[in-house]
Amino acid sequence: MKKRFSLVGFMVLCVAAAGFITLAFFIGSWTGSSGKVSVTGAFAAVPAAITGTASNIEYKVSVPSTDATLAGVTVDFSSPSKYVTFNPASGSVTTDSDGVARIEIVAKANAPTWITTTTIEAACTIGNVKMSGKTEPLSLKAG
């Protein structure tokens, strides 16, 4: 009786095939997961002054060098001044379909005249990436 294949030859063939399958999977995974996406946030609209009349501040979250914007990102607005209020009062808003988080800001009526400026900060987290931005000092005028 003739043998058509040897046991040793069969084992070598199996090991080689397993190696090629593993190599093909590694190469496929490597090329499929390479590259990263940058995300930026920046103030898109800031009033000249914060007054007793409500005005909007906008913070845009996007992917630079593309038209891609990120909707549904929660942006937290804050100010070191206790004479500034936000609407909503929590200071948290979600970006719209254009990637813009828009919040109303008002100066309180009891703001003393010696406080002339304040800044506004916007912060958000996307995945494990934390971003924040701060305005230049804005004029604060009592409402």
In this predicted model, what pLDDT tens digit does every residue of 10-30 receive, in sequence order? 655 555 555 544 433 333 323
Q: Which residue do the tokens 């010696």 mark?
A: 114
Start-to-end C-alpha separation, the chain: 104
Q: What is the mean pLDDT of residues 33-59?
A: 83
pLDDT at position 6: 61
The full length of the chain comes to 143
Higher pLDDT, 104 or 109: 104
Using the predicted structure, report yes or no on whether residue 7 has a pLDDT greater than 70: no
Cα–Cα distance for residue pair 15/134, rounded to 1 Å:
59
pLDDT at position 21: 44
Q: What is the mean pLDDT of residues 52-72?
A: 89
pLDDT at position 13: 57
Which letter, b or e, does each residue of 72-95 get, where b requires 16 or more Cβ atoms within 10 Å of its Cβ? Answer: ebebbbbbebebbbbeeeebbbeb
pTM: 0.71
How much is the CA Rg of the chain, to the nearest whole Å?
28
Q: Which residue do the tokens 């009349």 mark?
A: 53
Higher pLDDT, 39 or 91: 91
Higher pLDDT, 33 or 131: 131
pLDDT at position 64: 82
